[in-house]
Structure 1
Amino acid sequence: MNIRTFLLLNLVWAYAAPAISQNTDQEKDSIYIQQYENQQGPDKVLHAEPLYIDLIRDLGARKGEKEWNVGLGLTDNLKFDSYEALIEYEWAPIDRLGLEVELPFTFYSPVNGTANDSIPAHRLNSLKVAAQWSFFVSEPTSTSMAIGYINEFEISDFENFGNPIIKGNVYNPFFVVAKRWGTNFHSLLYTGPKMEQYFSTNKVHTTYDVNTSFHYMIMGTRNFIGLEFNKTFSDEDFDLTIRPQMRLGIADNLLIGIVAGIPVSRENQRLSSFARLIWEPGHHPK
C-alpha cells in the first residue's frame, strides 16, 4: 500500500466513522424503543416522566405494572427551611388504568435566629389517593393522552393531631398529553385546577396548575436530563419554578432522580432540591 492509498483510506474513514457511529446509536435506540413498546399487551409509547410532578402511572400502563417511590427534598425559605419526605405506591390493576396512594410529610427548621414558635408545625400533609386513565395511545405518532383525579385528605399538624384529624380536602382533576419527538426528545403537559376546601370555614380556594417538561433520553436507556416548568395561577398571584433534573438507572429495576428547584417569582422561597428513588418490583430486562 503506497502512501497516497493510505492517506485516502484514512480520509474516507474520518468522514465515514461518525456517520457509522451515529447510525449504530440510532439503531440501538430504535431497538430499545421497540422492545419497550412491543411487549405483550396493548400499545404503549416510551415517554420521559417528570420527576417532581410525577404521573400516577406510566401513560398507557399495562396490567400488573407497579412501582414504589421514596422522595426527599429541601427548600430554603426566608425564615425557615422545610424538609419534604414522601412514600408512594402506584400500580395498574387493568390495562391503561393507574392507581396511587401517597403519604407526604413536611418538617421545618428555623434559620437566621427565627423563633421556634413562629415556624409551621411538622405534619403529615395529607393522605393522597389518585387514579389515571390513558384514553389515547398512538405508537405511530408517539403520542399519549390521559385524564385523572387526585384527592387529598388534608391532615392536621402533629401539634393538633386529632383536633380534627382531617381539616380539609383538595380536589384535583388533571389532563396529561405527552409526545416523543424522534427517538430521544420528549415533551409533556400536565394541567388542571386544584380546589382546596377548609372544613372549619367551608371556604374553597382555587388555583390552576400548568406543568410542562422537556427531556432528552440517552440512547438505548431510560436515563435522561431535562427541565420541568411548574406554573401556578391564582387570583392573587403567579408562581413559576424551573426544575432542572436528571434520572439515572442504577439497576434494571431501580432508578434515582435528582431535581433542583429555581423559583422565578416566589417572594418567600429560594432554591430547593429533591431526590426520588424509584423501585419497580417484578421489572425484568426488556
Structure 2
Amino acid sequence: MAQLTDAEKDSLYIHQIEDQKEPDKVLHAEPLYIDLIRDLGARKGEKEWNLGLGLTDNLRFDSYEGLIEYEWAPADRLGLEVELPFTFYSPVNGTANDSVPSNRLNSIKIAAQWSFFVNEPMATSMAFGYINEFELSDFRAFGKPFLRGNIYNPFLVVAKRWGNNFHSLIYTGPLVEQDFRTNRFHTTYDVNTSFHYMIPGTRNFIGVEFNKSISRGNFDMTMRPQMRLGIADNLLIGIVAGIPVSRENERLSSFVRLIWEPGHPKR
C-alpha cells in the first residue's frame, strides 16, 4: 500500500473530525493560555481534563500558578467547564515576606459556551460563552470571609481555518469584578487573538497568542509564543512562553498545559 503524504493525512483527519459525525464541526487550533471552554462545535459526549503549571517573574516576587480543569459537552454544541486555579508566591531580591501576596486558591470557576455558528465550507465557527468566577480569600484570611468577590465574564469567540493548516481566532469580552467587601465594581476589557500553524500530518502546532487588556485607560499586552505536541492519541502537552510588551511589574513567564482527552478517536 502506498504511504500517505502529510497533505493526505491532513485531509483525512479533517474529514474524520468534520464529516463522519453529526452535527457539523470545524477543526480549529485552540489557544493554550486563554483556552476555550470546549471545542467550537462540540459534540455530545466529548470531554477533557487539563492540568496547568506556570511561573511568572515579577519585580518583587515570583508567582507559581496552577490549575485543574474539567470540560465536557452534555449536548451538541454546548460546552461546560469547572476549573480550580491557584497561585503560590515566593519573594526575590530580599523582599520581605509580609509584602508578598499570600498563597491562595484563587477561585472556583464555572463556565458555559454555546457554538451558535458552524460552517464547514467557510471553515468558520462562532460561539458565545460566560464564565462566573467566585473569588476566594487568600490562605492568610481563608474563611474571613470565604468569598471576597465575583467576576462576571461574558465572551465571544470567532475562529477561522485558512486551508488545512493555518488557524486564526479572536476571544473577547469584558470582565466585571465585584468586591463583596466594598460592593464596588471594576471592569476590564480583554481582547485575545491567536494565530497557529498545524504541522502537516500531525495534531501538533506552533503559534502565538496576543493577550490584551484595557483597564482604567491603561493598555497591557503579553505575547505568548507556544507549541502543542501529541504524546499519544489522547494525550497532548502545550508549552507557552510569556513576553510582556507593556506591563510595568511583570517580566518573562512560562506555562505548561497537559491535556488528556478520554475517548479521543485514533488517527
Normalised TM-score (structure 2): 0.97
Q: Which residue of 1 aligns with 2:84?
A: 103
Q: 2:139 aligns to what?
A: 158
Q: Provide the aligned C-alpha RMSD in A.
A: 1.1
Residue 34 (structure 1) aligned with residue 26 (structure 2)? no
Structure 2 residue aligned with 1:239, among 217, 220, 224?
Answer: 220
C-alpha distance in 2, partners of 1:241/1:68? 26
Map Cα deviations across residues 65-118 of structure 1 (whole Å, 9 max, x no partner). Answer: 000000000000000000001000000000000000000000000000001111
Counterpart residue number, 1:188: 169
Tell me whether 118-127 or 36-45 shows the greater mean CA deviation: 36-45
Q: Look up the SS of the partner of 2:5 in the other structure.
A: helix
Q: 1:119-147 deviations in whole A, cap 9, x for unaligned?
A: 00000000000000000000000000000
Report the equivalent of 1:10. none
Structure 2: tracts of 5 or more residues without a match: none
Structure 2: how far apart are the matches of 1:39 and 1:107? 45
Within-5 A mapping of 1:173-184: 173-184=154-165
Residue 25 of structure 1 and its aligned partner are, at CA, apart by 2.9
Question: Which structure shows the bigger proportion of residues in strand conformation?
Answer: 2
Match of 2:69 in 1: 88
- The separation in 2 between residues aligned to 1:280 and 1:170, in whole angstroms, is 28
- 1:191-210 correspondence to structure 2 within 5 Å: 191-210=172-191
After TM superposition, the structure 1 = structure 2 runs for residues 47-66 of structure 1, keeping only pairs within 5 Å, are 47-66=28-47
**CA positional deviation for 1:220:** 2.2
CA distance in 1, matches of 2:216, 2:139: 31
Give, in whole Å, the separation in 1 of the partners of 2:96 and 2:244: 25
Is residue 273 of structure 1 aligned with residue 251 of structure 2? no
Structure with higher Rg: it is: 1
Cα distance between partner residues in 2 of 1:162 and 1:256: 35
Instruction: Report the Cα offset of residue 32 of structure 1.
Output: 1.5
Task: Tell me what 1:79 maps to.
Answer: 60
How far apart, CA to CA, are the structure 2 residues paired with 1:122 and 1:25? 47
5+ long unaligned stretches in structure 1:
1-20
Alpha-carbon separation, structure 1, partners of 2:250 and 2:24: 42
Matches of 1:28 and 1:65 in 2, distance apart?
A: 23
Q: Which has the higher helix share?
A: 1
Aligned-partner SS, 1:53: coil
SS of residue in 1 equivalent to 2:177: strand
SS in 2 for 1:266: coil
Residue 155 of structure 1, CA deviation: 0.1
Give 1:31 deviation, angstroms: 1.4
Taking only the aligned residue pairs, the percentage that are identical comes to 80
- Residues 21-79 of structure 1 show CA distances to partners (whole Å, capped at 9, x for unaligned) of 9x933222111211121222200000000000000000000000000000000000000
- Aligned-partner Cα distance in 2 for 1:170–1:164: 16
Which amino acid in 1 is paired with 2:231?
I
TM-score of the pair, normalised by structure 1: 0.91
SS of equivalent to 1:31: helix
Give the structure 2 partner of residue 16 of structure 1. Answer: none
Whether 1:259 aligns to 2:240 is yes
Give distance in 1, aligned partners of 2:96 and 2:216: 32
Matched AA of 1:176: V
2-side partners of 1:263 and 1:221: how far apart?
30
Q: How far apart are 1:248 and its partner, in Å?
A: 0.3
Match of 2:12, SS state, is: helix
Partner letter of residue 75 of structure 1?
T
- Alignment partners' CA distance in 1, 2:20 and 2:84: 32
Between 37-46 and 123-132, report the one with greater CA deviation: 37-46
Residue type at the aligned position of 1:242? M
Alignment counterpart, residue 97 of structure 2, candidates 92, 103, 116:
116
Q: Letter of the aligned partner of 1:208 in structure 2?
A: Y
